[in-house]
Amino acid sequence: MPKLPNLNKIKESFQKKAATFKEDSSRLPNSNGLATVFFKELADQLSSTRFFILFSLITLTGIVSFYSAASNIRGTTEDAIANFVLIRLFTTSGSSLPSFTWFLSILGPLVGLSLGFDAINAEQNSGTMTRLLAQPIYRDDVINGKFLARFFVLVLMTLALGFFVAGMGIIITGVPPTGEEIIRLLLYLVLSIVYIAFWLVLAMLLSLMFRQTATSALCGISMWLFFSIFVPILAGMVADAIFPITSNSDALTQLYNVRVSQGLSRLSPSTLYSEASVTLLSPNVRTLGPILLEQAYGAISGFLPLGQSLLLIWPHITGLIAGTLIIFGITYTLFLRQEIRA
């Protein structure tokens, strides 16, 4: 009679194989790693004192600039230019206060730098990065989750501030916005998000390159000052060296001087953002470069359609998006290749 197999041994064999498979599966990367890192970083950002300070700062700035603009345009709602009362709230400056767009062009980089200057090196110094990478999570999920969480925060802050100013403007002025005004405002907010995201990814790159958070923060502020202040100054110096302006200079030399200065200053993301913002929120802007009197002669005054305004600034928008993607690509590649030590 044939001997029957021992059922207990077969059961033990299957249990050992199941335990081995479970152990091997636990070592595999978690498919939900991106969501895990995203919500963890988002909770850290929203519950931090930094977020409260930044949000309070830009909210106070928005209220002050709105009050100044509303006081100046309150008496002009009967004019022809009042067709764009809503978006004029963002570009009108007061007697002693600059406009909302100027405030955002200054505070936007600070928000991006503040959100990203310690995104990586802070966890490296505390040792949490090593423990995080030891978990079954893809390394690219870590860098993507960190960026997306901070990007969500800046989107939240920008949209909340923009909609707050727009809503208060509609209530106080009593002038309903047109469809073109709403589209121009939404495009401006999207442009502002891209502009702040540029500084965010730059700060994350610096956080990856430098071990100390103070060093990455100082380097980020230095680069912001360089692009915002020194690039336009250097552009003017180079233009004066190539096409010097004297009392005997003709109009063509002056035109070339301005074009060279303007072209070099557009290497700065701050210049790109400022010119694009003015074009979107001021329909009466018909050109971004210098023109001759012969070109202006016979021109019909009026507001530029939205499509024509977008044609003027599409190189600016493309440049900001390309710069943001390139810097994030460099950060992404370096993080995947960098050896993280405790």
Task: Provide the pLDDT for residue 196.
Answer: 95
Task: Summarize pLDDT for 2-56 with one digit per residue, the tens.
Answer: 454 554 554 455 455 445 534 443 444 555 788 888 998 999 888 888 888 888 8
What single-letter DSSP state applies at residue 23?
Answer: H
- Tokens 């070109």 correspond to what residue? 295
Task: Provide the pLDDT for residue 32.
Answer: 79
**Does 315 score more than 60 pLDDT?**
yes
Task: Summarize pLDDT for 39-98 with one digit per residue, the tens.
Answer: 989 998 888 888 888 888 888 887 777 777 766 665 554 444 456 778 888 887 766 677
The pTM assigned to this predicted structure is: 0.84
Quick one: pLDDT band at residue 341, thresholds 50, 70, 90?
Answer: low
Stretch 206-227: mean pLDDT: 92
Two tokens at 323? Answer: 């710069």
Task: Provide the pLDDT for residue 323.
Answer: 95
Task: Provide the pLDDT for residue 24.
Answer: 43
**Does 203 score more than 80 pLDDT?**
yes
Contacts 24+ apart (CB under 8 A), 250-256: 251/292, 255/290, 255/292
- Residue 183: phi and psi, rounded to 5, are -65, -45
Task: Provide the pLDDT for residue 250.
Answer: 78
